[in-house]
Each structure stands twice: as structure tokens, then as C-alpha cells.
Structure 1
Amino acid sequence: MRRANNKVFQASLATEVGFNLPEFAITNDVTLLKHFSDQKGIIKPVAIGEITRDSSKEFVQTNLIDPSFAARNFEYSPVYLQSYIQKDFEVRLTIVGERVFPVKIHSQNNIDWRKPNNKVVYETCSIPEGIERNCFAFMELCGMRFGCFDFIVKNDIWYFLEMNANGQWAWLEFETGLNISESIIDYLTTGSTKMEP
């Protein structure tokens, strides 16, 4: 699971299976940071953006690059830089075995729908056959049977962002009525997810 969550590994797999990716760089090169900053790009952690201080935790999420921030602060800490795409909507696609649970996400926050105090609307949706095929190929290559894919969609073009090998899913079940939990239970008890929707 740790290997599957690695963003460098994921970028390689995403290219191999044929996903569209926004322009990106995983680097501590300040020249590249300036390049993405000039494009009004975004910055996010390479791994889990969790900072622990004493007994408290903070989480670093996706943000627009702040051009006023001193570039030298990145010299010793690689970050994930990405071009910003003005999306029409996002999709969280949860895969359990052979079943897919796609959810369209409409967010008031155009950078990261997980931000606090954000207004979000969820709805079930269909996905293009090619995207589903690529997701299963991706899962096969990283040896996973469960994963949560995040996409942004603009003008019917799907852009792969990441696959979370231990992604949260329960709130989607509450919001949409999708029965993800039943598929997980069935897979864990029988090893099968070939059931009618």
C-alpha cells in the first residue's frame, strides 16, 4: 500500500496506462517552482501532508503557489508542483475488486474540495469506458484490489490526479446511497465483488 501511494510511482503508472495528467514536476528545483508559479500553478505534498507538533496534528493540502513565499525554503524539501486546470467538476472513483463507484463532486472551492467550510455537492455519475479500463490496468500494475481515484474533468477531458490506496469512502455512501461497504464486506468474506448493482 505504501508503494502504491507513492506519487512518483503513481505518475509512472498513470503514464503507462494512458491517463491524461496535468503538467507536473516532483522536485526541489527552485527554477521549476518559479515556472509553475508564473503559470499560477498549485503545490501539494509529495506524500501525506501531515505535520505533528507535540500532541497536535496539522494537514497540508493542495494550494495555489504563493509567489511571495521565499523559493529557498524549498531547496531541501521536494514538493509536487502541478499546472492549475479550471475544472468543470471532480470525480472520486472508488474501486472494490471489480466494482466501481464513481461520484461527481461540485465544489465551491476550485483548488481543493477537502478545504474546511467548503460547500460541496455529490452525485453519482457514469464514467467513460476508457477511464474505467485505465483504472483497472493501474490497479493491476500496483497489485491493489481497493483504491480511490481522483480526477478533474474539463471539457470532457479527464485528468488523473492520484490514487489513494487507503482512501476514505464512508461519507460518499451517506451522501449518495452507494453501497460501498457491502462490496468491501463481500470481498473480505468471499473474495468476490461480482454482484448486481
Structure 2
Amino acid sequence: MAEGGPPVLVVTRLDDATADEVIAELNRRRVPVARLDPGDFPTAVTVSATLDGTATTGSLATETRTVDLERVRSVYWRRPTPYRADLAMSDQTARWAVEEARHGLGGVLAALPGAHYLNHPWRNRDAEYKPAQLATAARCGLYVPPTLITNDPDQARAFADTHRPVLYKPLRETEYADAEGRALTVWIDDVTPAQLDDRVRQTAHLFQRRVCKTADIRLTAVGEKLFAVRIDGSPGVDWRRHYDRLTYTSISVPPEIAEGVRAYLDAFGLVFGAFDFGLAPDGLWHWYECNPNGQWAWFPDHITSPITAALADQLQYGGNA
């Protein structure tokens, strides 16, 4: 490790370009970094933690690094792969082994003494639930479009008829694949009352009044620093489907939005959050969601560089950044 000081632990999968940006910046600063994917446990990760009532000591070891638990300065919790079990195990034994790993290694990773988390995995988990997001954003003074979560087709049709035009939004970005194993995405899209039949009963659905917008806004919050980007050029309601047509412009954050965003982060105990807004013709920012572990590295370099530096500051200096 570069300078022999306390390391930053980056918890993520191998193919994480966003984490790579931050790791490269920490390396430039000669801050020691250890990368760990819990999905590699137990084949390529070893944990040994001693808890004796006065301290937590021990080590985490990967194929290339060994880290003392009590010396980790910060944890950058990104996107680890799921825990896995030996393929030779029976289904029941495999499920048991995975849960033991999750609560054993996962519990140790979530309780490193003195470490600054960005974000703590349990805070990420709590902040992923859309109903909690919507209610918290409203309490924090952010404007939330009328939204319905239901599995009742009659209620869904009535809502769509009253608030048209209405969008369907997935409640979570759950991994989904077709029969050939190709990854699929459930997009945000318009929905009409006629489309809402008895299939709505099969699970929970989120419907929201579509904002009449002139642009989208992605606001990335890192501690006290806020980076807002206006996104123009999307021909549809979900700009993620049209990256090749988008343009990005850094913009200032209105004081009332900054106040609401910081109150939102405090409510969930987050250090980082990626907020999405729709910008109405009258200038009102309509709050859509906050991904507590959202992406930002696809922006042009002049936008990503300050975000990268802010994240590296948090991990290098902890809560003092």
C-alpha cells in the first residue's frame, strides 16, 4: 500500500467503473486502498474478527491485500455481487451458508470500528424503499408529484384517469434477464387507464403524474457539496434510454432545494445521494427519487472530476471533509 497509513476499503464488484474513478483519485493522492467483493467470500476472501467486549480486532484478506479491521479509515460501499455458496451444496445448505455469510462477513463489514461510511450499507438499504423516499422528500419540503402505490386495478385506473398523463415506474431496479440470460431493463413509461387490467393485482405498482418538464436534473450530493446537472435532449420520459442524444450543463442549486436535499440526507443518515428532478416551465423542481448509491461517472470529465474529488475527500478525511 502506497503510504502505509490507514486504508480505504472499497466494497464493490470487479466491473464498477464508478468506483474505479474514485480509486484512481485516491491512488493519485497516495491514499492506501483495498478492494473487496463480498461475492468472492469464502473462496477468495477470508475474515477473522475478535470481539471481546472492549474492541473489535482481526483482519480481512483478499488474494492481494490484508487489512486490519481496526485501521480502516473509510468504507466506500458501492455495488458488491451477491453472496454465493459452493455449487456442490444442496439448495437448503446453500441458502443457509449464504445467510451465514451475509450476517457474518456482512455484519463485520458494517461494524468496522471508527470507519467513516459512504454510505453505511444499512443506511443504503433503508433509503432504497420508494414509499419511504416519497414520504421523506415531502416532509423535507421537496415537491413530490401525486403518486399511487397499489395492486388494486380499480384504484390504478381511477388515479390514471384523474391525473393523466400518468407514468408507471418500477419500485426497485431489480436484476432481470430473458431466457437467454440477457439483462433486461424495466423502463419508466406512460400508461393509460385502458392498459391497467387485472394483472395489476399480481404485485405492487407505482404510478405517478407525469411532470410537464423542460429538462431533467441529476443532483449528486456528497456531504455538504451539491453538484447539479441539467439534462436536455431526451425525446422520451426516461432519459436513460437516450444517452446518445443528451447534453449536460452544470447549474446552480436553488437554496430551497439545497435545504431540502440536506434534510433528506440527514433523515436517512446518508453521506451520498443521487437525486433526480424534473424541471417544469415555471422553474419548479419536481422531486422524483434519490438513489443512495447512484451512478455519475458517465458525465463529461469537467462534471465528473469535482464529484470524484469530493468523494475522495470524504474517504480520505472522513466526516471532516
Provide the TM-score with structure 2 as the length reference.
Answer: 0.57
Asked if the contact 2:156–2:196 (Cα under 8 Å) also holds between the matched residues in 1, the reply is: no
Asked if the contact 1:97–1:193 (Cα under 8 Å) also holds between the matched residues in 2, the reply is: no
User: Which of 252, 256, 261 is the equivalent residue of 1:130?
Assistant: 256
Q: Mapping of 1:35-184 within 5 angstroms?
A: 35-38=158-161, 39-54=164-179, 55-69=181-195, 71-116=197-242, 119-154=245-280, 155-174=282-301, 176=303, 178-184=305-311
Rounded to whole Å, the distance in 1 between the matches of 2:211 and 2:304 is 30
Larger mean CA deviation between 169-178 and 79-88 belongs to 169-178
Q: Letter of the aligned partner of 1:43 in structure 2?
A: Y
User: Which of 23, 26, 30 is the equivalent residue of 2:146?
Assistant: 23
Query: SS at 2:213's partner residue?
Result: coil
Q: CA deviation at 1:56?
A: 2.2
Rounded to whole Å, the distance in 2 between the matches of 1:4 and 1:160 is 15
Asked if the contact 2:156–2:193 (Cα under 8 Å) also holds between the matched residues in 1, the reply is: no
Question: Which 5+ residue runs of structure 2 have no aligned equivalent?
Answer: 1-123
Q: CA deviation at 1:177?
A: 5.4
Larger mean CA deviation between 102-111 and 170-179 belongs to 170-179
Q: Letter of the aligned partner of 2:240 in structure 1?
A: R
Larger mean CA deviation between 83-92 and 32-41 belongs to 32-41
Q: Residues 173, 139 of structure 1: CA spacing in aligned structure 2 closer, same or farther, 3 A cutoff? A: farther
Rounded to whole Å, the distance in 2 between the matches of 1:191 and 1:173 is 27
Q: Letter of the aligned partner of 2:234 in structure 1?
A: Q
CA RMSD in angstroms, aligned pairs only:
1.9
Asked if the contact 2:153–2:197 (Cα under 8 Å) also holds between the matched residues in 1, the reply is: yes
More RCO (CA 8 Å, sep 6+): 1
CA deviation digits over 1:13-61, x for unaligned, max 9?
Answer: 0111111111111111212321343312100111114323452221102
Give % identity.
Answer: 29
Query: SS at 2:172's partner residue?
Result: coil
Structure 1 runs of 4+ off > 6 angstroms?
A: none
Q: Letter of the aligned partner of 1:15 in structure 2?
A: A
Asked if the contact 1:91–1:151 (Cα under 8 Å) also holds between the matched residues in 2, the reply is: yes
In structure 1, the partner of 2:47 is: none
Question: Which 5+ residue runs of structure 1 have no aligned equivalent?
Answer: none
Larger radius of gyration: 2
Rounded to whole Å, the distance in 2 between the matches of 1:140 and 1:103 is 22
Aligned length: 194
Asked if the contact 1:103–1:124 (Cα under 8 Å) also holds between the matched residues in 2, the reply is: yes
Q: CA deviation at 1:124?
A: 0.2
Q: CA deviation at 1:66?
A: 4.6
Q: Residues 18, 53 of structure 1: CA spacing in aligned structure 2 closer, same or farther, 3 A cutoff? A: same
In structure 1, the partner of 2:313 is: 186
